[in-house]
């Protein structure tokens, strides 16, 4: 029995790897994903323009000020907008897009478990989203400090600078994991995922205004404590914000992974009951 189980495990592992490769080639290694590149690299272009203006003497900024600006880019743009909309577009299309293109039945008729299809598509989406947005965050980090000459280079190579970079990259991957699982399920449950995506966006956006208990039901609540630099709150938003004890780092990471795994598990259960009806799509 052990030999049979080992053989089945190897077969399913190969099938999973095959689905991941197929999805990467089909969805992310072509120009059809240009909008993902735009969302991922737009801040780097802006930071690059900022660096050029500083080197030309047109803009005077301090290292500490740029550190706060970089924290704002990660927390206000990447976590709340860029990665959110990127994952919404990527993961809702992985299955719903195949239905629209009338190609999902090729997977469902193949001798492969439907759960492996979901997991393969999900891993491909997480890999692609983490890569593109991770590179975007790295370029923003590099361009933000490189124009400060010796001080900037010293900071990037110091323990503090490296810890900031690792924290930003880690929170980027975790955001792709969390939002990816959420929108993977959304694409399975809803024919038009735009409406539930808008609801989720509003919920994540008003997180600071929610009661302490409800704050814990959003992904952004677990991501922000992992960021190494706190962004100063706007006076108006701080007036209406409700304070809550931030989740500890050692609990935020496994908590987010557990929630994402639970959502993905339900997606695997849900796809078992899915029926192909291209006439209704």
The whole-angstrom separation of Cα 75 and Cα 149 is: 26
Work out how many domains the chain is built from and give that number. Answer: 1
- Flag whether 2 is in a domain: no
Q: Is residue 66 part of a domain?
A: yes
Is residue 28 included in any domain, yes or no? yes
Separation between Cα atoms, residue 186 and residue 192, nearest integer Å? 9
CA–CA gap between residue 27 and residue 19 (Å, rounded):
12
- The rounded distance, in Å, linking the Cα atoms of 148 and 145 is 6
281 residues of the chain, pLDDT tens digit each = 466 566 657 778 888 888 888 888 877 766 666 788 899 999 999 988 888 887 776 667 778 888 888 999 999 899 989 999 999 888 888 887 777 777 776 777 777 888 888 898 999 999 999 999 999 999 999 998 888 777 888 888 887 889 999 999 999 999 999 999 999 888 888 877 788 888 888 888 777 677 667 777 778 888 888 888 887 765 334 333 444 556 677 677 888 888 889 999 998 888 887 766 655 55
Provide the domain limits for residue 241. Answer: 17-280
Within a domain: residue 242? yes
Q: What is the pTM of this model?
A: 0.85
Rg (CA), the chain: 21
Residue 5 lies in a domain: no
């Amino acid at each position: 029995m052990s030999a049979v189980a080992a053989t089945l495990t190897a077969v399913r592992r190969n099938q999973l790897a095959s689905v991941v490769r197929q999805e990467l080639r089909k969805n992310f290694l072509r120009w059809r994903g240009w909008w993902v590149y735009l969302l991922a690299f737009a801040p780097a272009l802006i930071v690059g323009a900022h660096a050029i203006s500083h080197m030309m003497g047109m803009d005077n900024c301090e290292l500490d000020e740029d550190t706060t600006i970089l924290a704002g880019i990660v927390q206000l743009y990447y976590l709340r907008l860029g990665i959110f909309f990127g994952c919404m577009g990527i993961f809702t299309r992985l299955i719903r897009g195949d239905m629209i293109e009338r190609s999902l039945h090729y997977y469902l008729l193949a001798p492969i478990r439907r759960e492996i299809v979901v997991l393969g598509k999900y891993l491909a989406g997480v890999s692609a989203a983490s890569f593109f947005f991770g590179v975007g965050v790295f370029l923003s980090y590099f361009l933000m400090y490189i124009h400060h000459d010796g001080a900037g280079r010293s900071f990037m190579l110091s323990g503090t600078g490296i810890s900031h970079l690792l924290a930003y990259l880690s929170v980027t991957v975790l955001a792709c994991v969390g939002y990816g699982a959420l929108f993977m399920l959304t694409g399975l449950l809803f024919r038009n995922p735009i409406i539930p995506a808008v609801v989720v966006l509003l919920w994540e956006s008003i997180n600071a205004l929610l009661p302490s208990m409800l704050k814990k039901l959003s992904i952004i609540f677990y991501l922000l404590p992992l960021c190494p630099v706190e962004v100063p709150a706007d006076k108006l938003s701080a007036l209406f914000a409700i304070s809550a004890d931030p989740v500890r780092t050692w609990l935020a990471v496994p908590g987010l992974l557990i929630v994402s795994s639970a959502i993905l598990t339900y997606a695997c259960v849900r796809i078992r009951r899915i029926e192909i009806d291209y006439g209704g799509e």
